Amino acid sequence: DLDLCRSIAEVAAGWGAEVSEAHSLEAAVPLLDTHPDVLIADLWLQGASAIPLLAAAVHRRPSPAIVAMSGQASREETFQLGRLNVRAFLSKPLSIKLLESAVEDALEQPPDVEPWIVDLVGHDSLKGVQRKVRGTMLEEALARSEGSRSRAARILRVSRQAIQQVL
């Protein structure tokens, strides 16, 4: 829906955000290289599922907070959104107030990781999980800080020396 996309872009620009618009999957994926803080995506982009876009986004560093919307999401698609750590889902038609609230929450509230951690029991060792968590958090902090170890340490609330030891 081009009109909805333009309206959302205008609202986000009004928040002071740097806005990029894409109306197809092919146009949206390269925009991930601009390292957005938040990705607001319709689940269907010109007849193509946006799931590949969202999957690519969650594996980028820094990873954007994702807000998805749809007027026709199936149960399977909704499940996939949860697995991709989509922070909010809005049904269409949507209101600007709901969108603003969803974006604010997605940017400010930490995700609930406990269900994913519970599922790792019996599949990975405690040390293995700690190694993955430590590595992923360090990658993300370094990406958010544009490679600055001092700023990454502040983000992670550890000393710069602790960052050096992990690297």
Give pLDDT tens digits for 69-128: 998 888 899 889 988 989 999 998 888 899 999 999 999 988 888 888 999 999 999 999
- What percent of the chain stands above pLDDT 70? 100
> What is the 3-class SS of the chain, one letter each residue?
CHHHHHHHHHHHHHCCCCCCCCCCHHHHHHHHHHCCCEEEEECEECCEECHHHHHHHHCCCCCCEEEEEECCCCHHHHHHHHHCCCCEEEECCCCHHHHHHHHHHHHHCCCCCHHHHHHHECCECHHHHHHHHHHHHHHHHHHHCCCCHHHHHHHHCCCHHHHHHHC
Rounded Cα gap, residues 36 and 109, in angstroms: 17
For the segment 127-143, the average pLDDT, to the nearest whole number, is 94
Model confidence, pTM = 0.83
Enter the tokens of residue 14. Answer: 């009004």
Give mean pLDDT, residues 59-78. 90
Res 1 pLDDT > 80: no
